[in-house]
């Protein structure tokens, strides 16, 4: 046995979210890449990914697992970065961490804004709290205390530190991006798996936690999500996938490439195959 477990860290993409059975119950645990890898290497799957996770939560989940691990001696870590503006915050109300997506609130003029604010505030500060406090916090944070370049620098630091931590335990690890590429400055310092996205030639398409009114990187990026759209583009179905949701069914028969906005079982198969090929060369 080459590995005794696969430890998968990431957000909803790695968790297998939005892949369901015909009755709507969760089926992603049967189709996600980490499950396929565990079958290939004939070992246990430990998937710590959670929908909505930001990078601090992703790294934190892996750190906690290593500190508490008494059973496994030879894990393979799969670490996929997430959205840059997902802030990990502690709630004294629920006594746990939450990931607050700073830039993906609906426009204030929309009917969904208050619903979203109420939902998030209830989880973080409690149902009896003043929801305006969370709104004020987000406005102050995004306007005065958040800078994308500084966040990228911090992420790169955390990745390097986590990589060293795993190296200290002699754990093999593979890093890649799920949603955006914010670690380009350190890819030659870690076991980084590229999707070979051409920033200039490939079709610009972003999945990010940043409203369209914010000026941000418009180019395609080296991440799993853009590699899926690159394959869709190669199939000649790019425009159809943008407007026809029937091509992205999250129930059987699943969409070929996507289940809603998330990777399909087929896309997870492609990812697992790519990871196996990469692992053979490190």
Q: Residue 71 is encoded by which pair of tokens?
A: 């059973």
Residues 258-268 have pLDDT tens digits of 999 999 999 99
What is the average per-residue pLDDT within 182-194?
A: 97
Cα distance between residue 282 and residue 134, in whole Å: 45
Cα distance between residue 71 and residue 24, in whole Å: 34
* pLDDT, position 256: 97
What is the average per-residue pLDDT within 128-137?
A: 92
Rg (CA), the chain: 19
**Residue 118 pLDDT > 70, yes or no?**
yes
What are the residue ranges spanned by the domains of the chain? 5-85+148-279, 101-144
Chain-wide mean pLDDT for the chain?
92
Residue 126's CB is within 10 A of a number of other CB atoms, namely: 12
* pLDDT, position 200: 66
pLDDT cut 90: percent of the chain above it: 82
Q: Which position has the higher pLDDT, 109 or 270? A: 270
| DSSP summary character for residue 214 | S
Confidence category of residue 214, pLDDT binned at 50, 70, 90 = very low
What is the average per-residue pLDDT within 136-148?
A: 95
Confidence category of residue 209, pLDDT binned at 50, 70, 90 = very low
265-279 vs 224-234: helix axis angle to the nearest 10?
110
Q: What's the topology of domain 5-85+148-279? A: Rossmann fold (3.40.50)
| DSSP summary character for residue 246 | G
Residues 54-85 have pLDDT tens digits of 999 999 999 999 999 999 999 999 999 999 99
Q: Which position has the higher pLDDT, 200 or 271? A: 271
Among the ranges given (119-123, 190-194, 202-206), the one the predictor scored with the smallest mean pLDDT = 202-206
């Amino acid at each position: 046995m080459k590995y005794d477990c696969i430890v998968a860290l990431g957000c909803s993409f790695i968790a297998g979210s939005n892949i369901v059975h015909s009755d709507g119950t969760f089926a992603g645990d049967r189709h996600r890449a980490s499950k396929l890898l565990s079958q290939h290497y004939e070992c246990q799957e430990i998937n710590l990914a959670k929908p909505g996770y930001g990078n601090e939560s992703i790294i934190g989940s892996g750190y906690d697992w290593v500190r508490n691990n008494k059973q496994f001696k030879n894990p393979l870590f799969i670490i996929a970065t997430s959205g840059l503006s997902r802030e990990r915050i502690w709630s004294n109300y629920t006594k746990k961490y939450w990931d607050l997506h700073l830039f993906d609130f609906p426009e204030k003029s929309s009917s969904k804004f208050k619903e979203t604010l109420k939902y998030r505030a209830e989880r973080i500060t409690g149902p009896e709290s003043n929801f305006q406090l969370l709104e004020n916090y987000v406005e102050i944070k995004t306007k005065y205390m958040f800078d994308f370049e500084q966040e990228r620098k911090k992420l790169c630091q955390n990745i390097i530190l986590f990589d060293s931590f795993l190296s200290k335990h002699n754990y093999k690890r593979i890093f890649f991006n799920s949603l955006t590429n914010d670690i380009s400055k350190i890819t030659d310092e870690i076991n980084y798996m590229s999707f070979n996205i051409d920033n200039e030639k490939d079709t610009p398409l972003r999945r990010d936690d940043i409203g369209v009114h914010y000026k941000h990187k418009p180019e395609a990026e080296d991440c799993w999500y853009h590699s899926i759209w690159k394959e869709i583009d190669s199939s000649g179905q790019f425009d159809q996938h943008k407007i026809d949701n029937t091509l992205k069914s999250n129930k059987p028969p699943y969409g070929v490439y996507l289940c809603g906005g998330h990777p399909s079982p087929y896309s997870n198969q492609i990812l697992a195959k790519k990871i196996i090929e990469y692992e053979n060369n490190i």
